[in-house]
Structure 1
Amino acid sequence: MTSTRLSSRLSSRRRSDPGLRWVRVVMAVLATIGAIDTGAITLKRWGLIGPLSCPGGAEGCDKVLNSVWGSLFGQSLSLFGFLAYTTVLVLAVLPLVLTGEARSAIAERSWWGLFLFSGGMAVFSLLLMGLLVFKIKAFCFFCVLSAVLSLSLFVLSLIGGQWDDRGQLVFRGVLVALLVGLVGLGWAASVDRPAALGTRGTPPPVVSVSTPATLALAEHLSGSGAVMYSAYWCPHCHEQKELFGKEATAKLKVIECAADGVNNQKALCDSKNLEGFPTWEINGKLDSGVKPLARLAELSGFKGRL
């Protein structure tokens, strides 16, 4: 009788904490690395930290992160990656720190959460790697690292969950993969507008109309020696030009920095150690990011009205 009760208690404990504990720990470590990776990129995009050293070349990272696929809902895609890794971290750690009924209630559910969430991340990462290779055609160490981490988390969730119902595992996994894959492909296609890019290596045309004020500011900037360092694939550079309008942009001194850009001056751009695009050089000082016209007027000493 005593032996039966002991066996029942041990069985109950195993059911209250299914899966392998060491896998949770490893997943928590990998999720932390992923959160640091994507969090650093997000802070860089927000201008809260300085430039990041990108193994393999900063130009590739800039090209990828500033591409049309580098943003979602107006926010850096890395922000959503940070939220995803943080979610995985919480799901992995909670059963390790909780006790009693709370632990029992969340343990099995957390394995399903880890499996489905990391599976979705892995599928989306594979989609992004496809864009990296076939559309953007650039290497980004941070992006590759994130993809490796996502795939590793998915494999670990398969190992750690010690699944009893393999049928449910396959069914739910395929369902999530199809859902994420279809939504991801739809998103990737919707933001890909090759017709607007014109000739390869050239930026998309500016369509907004200039005003007398923006024309005057552009002439002042050019006359004072101000330079805008740009890359044809950079959406933020196009955003900056749209603030001036078509006619005023034609008066600006814009230097193409992309290695495959038409009439590029990559050597000059490299010598400036630019942190990103666009970067303005006004009165010998470099300032990166899209600038409001009023700020450009202030930096250059423009006295006219905007």
Structure 2
Amino acid sequence: MTTTRQRPEPVLHRWVRPLMGALATVGAIDTASISLERWGVISKLSCPGGGGGCDKVLTSPWGTVAGLPLSLFGFFAYGALVLLCLLPLIPAVQQWLANRAAAASSGLGARRSGRNPDLFWQLGFFISLAMAIFSLVLIWLMLFKIQAICAFCFLSAGLSISLLIFHYLGRDWPDLGQLIFRSVIGLLLVGLGSLSWAAAVDKPAILLEKGAPPVVVSVSNPAKEALAEFLNQSGAVMYSAYWCPHCHEQKELFGKDAAAKLNIVECAVDGKNSQAALCESKKIDGFPSWEINGKLDSGVKRLNQLADLSGFQGPRSF
């Protein structure tokens, strides 16, 4: 009687779930921190590398979805991966998975359960695939459209791609052809959806009415709103033109609610509520231009700069 020696389980297979759970936890902390900072719950995060790149990326039109920080959706995705990676380590769940595997090994069970009974792994694979593809689109936007570097965004992209790689390598797939087919379908669906979303956001100048400025979509926080109120009350004026992309960029730095509190003068002759004569009398030759304490200064200003110029003494967790 001959006995066959069972091939030992690869080390990666034994430790891949805790490893992925740890990576997903780091991603959840990263995205949660960004979301809380956007809402003003925690103080401003220090972006590695400096230069204000993180703030520029996170307050860009692509930094929000439906008025919520994009990082919040990343937090939900990482949170789901934490559960999918760590729940199977619980003995009761392990037993349930073993029962499914046993059922799948029988003819009837195989027809009912499919060839891949580990639902946790399959769901984790598809989530990490979608996150990795979407992250690559975001990196492209960051480098070529926003033209700024955000270390937190690179961290999230690296984590999502690593999670996808571990999902590929962390188990023996019974049908590689099916795996490749699913990956290609996922790439096409998520890739096309992500690019369509990016293109739609890249056209903020779709005007609700002729001469109206683009809608501000980024999220404000209490500090930004306090600064906007102070600027308004102190007589500060922002001279703008509805067609000016830099004016829209300035408003996005404040966010939707805070920008609504600013005293903005429309200088375009064909703009809504135009005050072109006032702008001409002020000799406004660039947009946006700020008039603070009787002095004119043109160009997009970081919120800390505006706070310094105006003498704002409130919170600066912009």
TM over 0.5: yes
- Residue 235 of structure 1 aligns with which residue? 252
- Residue 121 of structure 1 aligns with which residue? 131
- Residue 139 of structure 1 aligns with which residue? 149
**For 2:76, which of 71, 74, 83 is the aligned residue?**
83
Matched, 1:285 2:314: yes
Alignment deviations for residues 261-296 of structure 1 (CA, whole Å, 9 cap, x no partner): 953566972995xxxxxx9854x334566xxxxxxx
Identity, in percent, stands at 42
Contact kept, 8 Å, 1:281 with 1:287, in 2: the verdict is no
Q: Please state whether the residue corresponding to 2:52 is helix, strand or coil.
A: helix
Q: Please state whether the residue corresponding to 1:20 is helix, strand or coil.
A: helix
Alignment deviations for residues 190-222 of structure 1 (CA, whole Å, 9 cap, x no partner): 11116569xxxxxx94799xxxxxxxxx99956
- 1:63 & 1:87 partners in 2: Cα distance? 28
Matched, 1:269 2:305: yes
Structure 2 unpaired stretches of 5+: 102-116, 217-227, 239-245, 268-274, 279-287
Question: Which one has a larger percent helix, Structure 1 or Structure 2?
Answer: 1
**For 2:174, which of 143, 159, 164 is the aligned residue?**
164
Q: Please state whether the residue corresponding to 1:161 is helix, strand or coil.
A: coil
Contact kept, 8 Å, 2:205 with 2:214, in 1: the verdict is no
Aligned residues: 252
Q: Please state whether the residue corresponding to 1:138 is helix, strand or coil.
A: coil
Pair 1:247–1:271, CA change in 2 (3 A): closer
- 1:184 & 1:90 partners in 2: Cα distance? 25
Give runs of aligned pairs for residues 190-269 of structure 1, distance below 5 A. 190-193=200-203, 195=205, 205=213, 224=234, 233=249, 234-235=251-252, 237=254, 239=256, 240-243=258-261, 246-247=264-265, 254=290, 263-264=299-300, 269=305
Contact kept, 8 Å, 2:231 with 2:310, in 1: the verdict is no
Contact kept, 8 Å, 1:32 with 1:86, in 2: the verdict is yes
- 2:232 & 2:307 partners in 1: Cα distance? 21
Pair 1:149–1:270, CA change in 2 (3 A): farther
Give the partner amino acid of 1:285.
G
Pair 1:155–1:280, CA change in 2 (3 A): farther
- 2:186 & 2:46 partners in 1: Cα distance? 35
Pair 1:79–1:220, CA change in 2 (3 A): closer
Contact kept, 8 Å, 1:63 with 1:138, in 2: the verdict is yes
- Tell me how far 1:189 sits from its aligned partner: 0.8
- Tell me how far 1:174 sits from its aligned partner: 1.1
Give the partner amino acid of 1:269.
Q
Give runs of aligned pairs for residues 6-45 of structure 1, distance below 5 A. 20-45=13-38
Give the partner amino acid of 1:235.
E
- Residue 295 of structure 1 aligns with which residue? none
Contact kept, 8 Å, 1:27 with 1:92, in 2: the verdict is yes
Contact kept, 8 Å, 1:119 with 1:176, in 2: the verdict is yes
Alignment deviations for residues 227-282 of structure 1 (CA, whole Å, 9 cap, x no partner): 88x985252536334455754998998489xxxx953566972995xxxxxx9854
Give the partner amino acid of 2:191.
G
Pair 1:61–1:139, CA change in 2 (3 A): same
Larger displacement relative to structure 2 (171-180 or 239-248): 239-248
Give the partner amino acid of 1:151.
I
- 1:222 & 1:53 partners in 2: Cα distance? 28
- Residue 95 of structure 2 aligns with which residue? 101
Pair 1:156–1:267, CA change in 2 (3 A): closer
- Residue 213 of structure 1 aligns with which residue? none
